[in-house]
Structure 1
Amino acid sequence: MKKDIIIGMLVGLIANSIGLLAAATLLGNGDDFTNVIKAAANEGFLGKLISLGAVLNLIAFFIFIKKRQDYRARGVLLITVFIAVFTFIFKLY
């Protein structure tokens, strides 16, 4: 049970990282990833970029639900909630 939740959390982190990379690449106008992240932080939309990256977590969640791997889906959901709280706190400061 704990192993499946941890696997789901890792899948959620990897999916979010890939989504963030894809969003930065698509919205970055050909700039380097680190430059896009720095510009997003300076202009105040880094939280939105991270949230956009979390869309891939939705796909991973539904794949785990369809395969009846509920504990892995729970791990993905935990990471998604953590990312939501992180972006909310990040926007406050």
Structure 2
Amino acid sequence: MGIKILKGFILGLLANATGTFLYVYFFSDKQFEYVVEKGIEQGFMGSLIGLGALLNVLLFFFFLTGRIGKFRKPVQPYEARGVIMATILAAFVVLYFEF
């Protein structure tokens, strides 16, 4: 049980980081490192992390849905709990950067 929650937590962190990277990649013409530096400097890093957390919603429902198209899989509630924990951690990080 603990390993499953840890798996969901790590996947949630990776989804958040991937979402942040994809947002910067598609909606900015600058390099990722430059945007992160300016985000910390100018105070919009929390917003970037918050937008990156949108992928956690998809991951959460992926774990809780038993059917994806014609493919059936078992519901994975412990992994979904780990994703929620990663989302809560992202919320605290956003609070840190915003205030």
Aligned residue runs from structure 1 range 1-93, under 5 A: 1-29=1-29, 31-67=30-66, 68-92=75-99
Question: 4+ runs of 1 displaced by more than 6 Å?
Answer: none
Unaligned 5+ residue runs, structure 2?
67-74
Identity of aligned residues (%): 35
Between Structure 1 and Structure 2, which shows a larger proportion of helix residues? 1
* Contact 2:20/2:48, CA 8 A, preserved across alignment: yes
* Count of aligned residue pairs for this structure pair: 91
More strand by share: 2
CA RMSD of aligned residues (A): 1.0
Between 83-92 and 57-66, report the one with greater CA deviation. Answer: 83-92
TM-score using structure 1 length? 0.92
Q: Which moved more, 1:71-80 or 1:36-45?
A: 36-45
Structure 1: unaligned runs, 5 residues or longer: none
Give TM-score scaled by structure 2 length: 0.87
